[in-house]
Structure 1
Amino acid sequence: MTKITSPTKREILEQEILSVFRTFDSNASPLLVKEIAECAINFFYDPDKAIAIVWSIEDINAIREDLNDEQAFMVLEDAYNNYVEDSPITWKVLKFVADDLFPREEAEET
């Protein structure tokens, strides 16, 4: 009986990096790709041993539709720089930061 195994997230990442490289260079070395994947994983996290929660400008736009992408990113940066050490970033924190950085006009706050 043959055991079928799913690829690890690391293997998936390596395949994704390889496919990107091959759009530029059809002779891209799989060894180079493995090195790049290793650097990326070590720099960020190992997806086979940890999880990460990612907040994006789309999340900020969901709570504050009036902000443009640049303003939304400023909210993300402020939340990351000022709240990560004390507590996790939550929807409540993001709303607080957005309202603090970009107060709404009183007529808009209905």
Structure 2
Amino acid sequence: MTCHELAQRINAIHPELPPAEVARLSLLILTQTTDTRELAEEASLMRAWKNASFRLEAAADQHAAVADELEQLCNSGPISFTPDQLWILLRAVKVQSQLLDLYTDQPALA
């Protein structure tokens, strides 16, 4: 199954989804599926969809939390890095790494 075919199936099931969301889901589902023939069955497609949506939501939540921590860190004035601030920066790098891994299905450096 190609990305275009998967996008058409997703769009047929949920025509209210914006094109960017259909493309995002198609990419995430395909990168997480070892045998795309399984996606021909609606039950398999829905399982893959739920898994991709869950992973994306979890990554988005982590990203939002880290972005808030980084914003607070930046607004705290001149920084002489404390161990806590270094952990915030390391978590930010790790979350960005997880997002890259989610979209590329390749382990990132962090």
TM-score by length of 1: 0.34
More helix by share: 2
Higher RCO structure, 1 or 2 (CA under 8 Å, sep 6+): 2
TM-score by length of 2: 0.34
